Amino acid sequence: MTQALASTHNVTHWCGGVFVGVIAAQLLSAALWSHQGGTHIVWFPGAVLLGALLATPRNMWLALMGAALIGLVATGVAFGLPLADTTLVIAPAVLLTPVAAWVLQLVPLHAPPLEDFIRLYAFSAVAVIALPAACATLVYQASHFTSFRGSILSDWPNIALAHALGYVLYVPVWVSVRNPEAAVRHEPRLPTEFYLLMIVSIALLGVIWYGYGSRAELVPVLCLAPAPIIIAAIIRAQMTGSSIAVFIIVIMAGHLSVTGHGPFMASTPQQTTLALQLWTLTAALSALTLGVVVEQRFASRRALNDAHGELREMTGRLIATQEQERARLARDLHDDINQRLAAASIGLSSLRRRVPPAIQGEVNHIQHQVIALSEDVRQLSHELHPSCLHHAGLRDSLEALCHTQRRPRAPHVIFIADRAIDVLSADIALCFYRVTQEALTNALRHAEASQVTIKASVTSDAASLWIFDDGKGIDPDDLPSAGPGIGLISMNERAKLLGGSFELRTAPGKGVDLCLRIPLETS
């Protein structure tokens, strides 16, 4: 019962919206109507009905058609038009619009509506050509039996173009505003300055059209004058912005033409209306085509950003899993392998006292090897999982790391940091430790450096780590072809996961400079 009430409320809501919408659309169309010869510039009510049908289930269509018919007939009667004549010329559009909506819904969806050229072609063929042509044919034939012919209704081309413009100007605005996939919904809110600039530009266009529209030599330029406004709207507000901009510009152009101004004025009202309709149809279809291209571009960019986000999230999980696995291996090495090596060393010490003196030296040598192996295992355990970070702090851990990396022919390591870095969070501390560990390993294995300098610092808004050496460096031209190593990728991803930045500067013979910066607010 609750669902039935909700469904009834939904139908009532849509019927009320269509009723009010077609009345408002008819009043707007009448405001642009030229009383000389009954020429219509644009007719919006059919587009309002088509937009509602495309947004609702088919079981509601009959009610919406009834609401549209009642609204249009009531508007005509309110203006003093005969009831029968009004119903006769309104009925074809009301009856044919559901057929067009049904055909458009049959078009396969290869992409979101605003990004699909197939849908654009289908919309152009059905709503801009077939539906207006069919409606104009029936209305024109019906006008022979009414008093509207020559006074309210003009010839077939005028009626067809008026219907086509209504669909091409209104339906894209309706679809783009309602579509959750529209690019404008995923972009940052446009600044107020952009809206002001658009308003001023359109107003200035109106002033120019009003003042110079009668000069024949300027007509080609004046017809192209709206292009920068429409292109700016497409780039900044995508199809939604371009559709609204074209809609407003056409309304303004129609008002100027009705009052006898603008670049579309011709020798007769019929020719003036035809010139404005053809220009509007060309501009609207061109804007729609460019709008689809822009929507596709923004959709591709969103998809790429989403893929980067998923990749970063997966990288974060991999790094976390890597740390967990390192911790497990470190525990196994320390608690199992190292204890067994210690037991073996004790056993060898006991064995040395029981064997003949002649082989005690060999046993003693084996014991020293086991002790050295135990120390290496202990060091490996600490490298896999730096528990010293939790006990000694980041500064002492980094300093110890610099000392443990000293080997024969190893570079001299200079470490500069104060106790302020000890207050950093565990995530940042681990990031600094791992980056320093990887950088020192690279310097020892590949850099052929004589000196490595490590500097860590903390300011009020960020923590920074600099590592630079005087080694042979890397040719930047080799990086795009060979690709950065796993270590550099790991450093970069660790920085990104904390909202920070990672920068590598290098040149052949000039060493490598690494800079890691983590904002403290993000962490």
* Residue 288 backbone dihedrals phi, psi, to 5 degrees: -65, -45
Segment 268-301, tens digit of pLDDT = 888 888 898 999 999 989 988 888 888 888 878 8
Asked if the model's pLDDT at residue 333 lies above 50, the reply is yes
Kindly report the pTM of this predicted structure: 0.66
**Cα-Cα-Cα-Cα dihedral sign, residues 80, 84, 88, 93:** positive
Mean pLDDT of 83-87: 90
What span, in angstroms and rounded, lies between the C-alpha atoms of 110 and 27? 37
User: Which tens digits make up the pLDDT trace of 415-447?
Assistant: 888 888 888 888 888 888 888 888 888 888 777
What is the maximum span of the chain, computed from C-alpha positions, in angstroms? Answer: 133
Residue 523 pLDDT > 50: no
**Long-range contacts formed by 259-264: CB under 8 A, 24+ apart:** 261/209, 261/210, 261/213, 261/214, 262/209, 262/210, 262/213, 263/209, 263/212, 263/213, 263/218, 263/219, 263/222, 263/223, 264/213
pLDDT confidence tier of residue 481, bands split at 50, 70 and 90: very low
Using CA atoms, how far apart are residues 227 and 361, in angstroms rounded to an integer? 95
Comparing CA positions, the residue from 110, 478, 353 lying closest to residue 512 is 478
Q: pLDDT-based confidence at 71, cuts 50/70/90?
A: very high
Tell me phi and psi for residue 455, to 5 degrees: -135, 125
Mean pLDDT over 107-118 rounds to 73
| Complete DSSP assignment for 347-400 | HHHHHHHHS-HHHHHHHHHHHHHHHHHHHHHHHHHHHHS-THHHHT-HHHHHHH
User: Across residues 162-174, what is the average pLDDT?
Assistant: 90
Report helix, strand or coil for 111.
coil
Give the model's pLDDT for residue 488. Answer: 78
Structure tokens of 513?
Answer: 């400079």
Residue-level pLDDT at 1: 40
DSSP state of 471: S
Report the share of the chain in percent with pLDDT over 70: 89
Residue 406 pLDDT > 70: no
Q: Place 306 in a pLDDT band, splitting at 50, 70 and 90.
A: confident
Tokens matching residue 235: 């780039």
**pLDDT at residue 141 above 80?**
yes
Sole residue written with tokens 């009010």: 20
The owner of tokens 């004025």 is: 265
Give pLDDT, residue 5: 39
Query: 504-523 burial, b for 16+ CB within 10 Å, e for fewer?
Result: eebeeeebbbbbbbbebeeb
Pick the more confident residue, 286 or 154. 286
Gyration radius (Cα) of the chain, Å: 38
Which of the four pLDDT bands, split at 50, 70 and 90, describes residue 228? very high
Mean residue pLDDT of the chain comes to 83
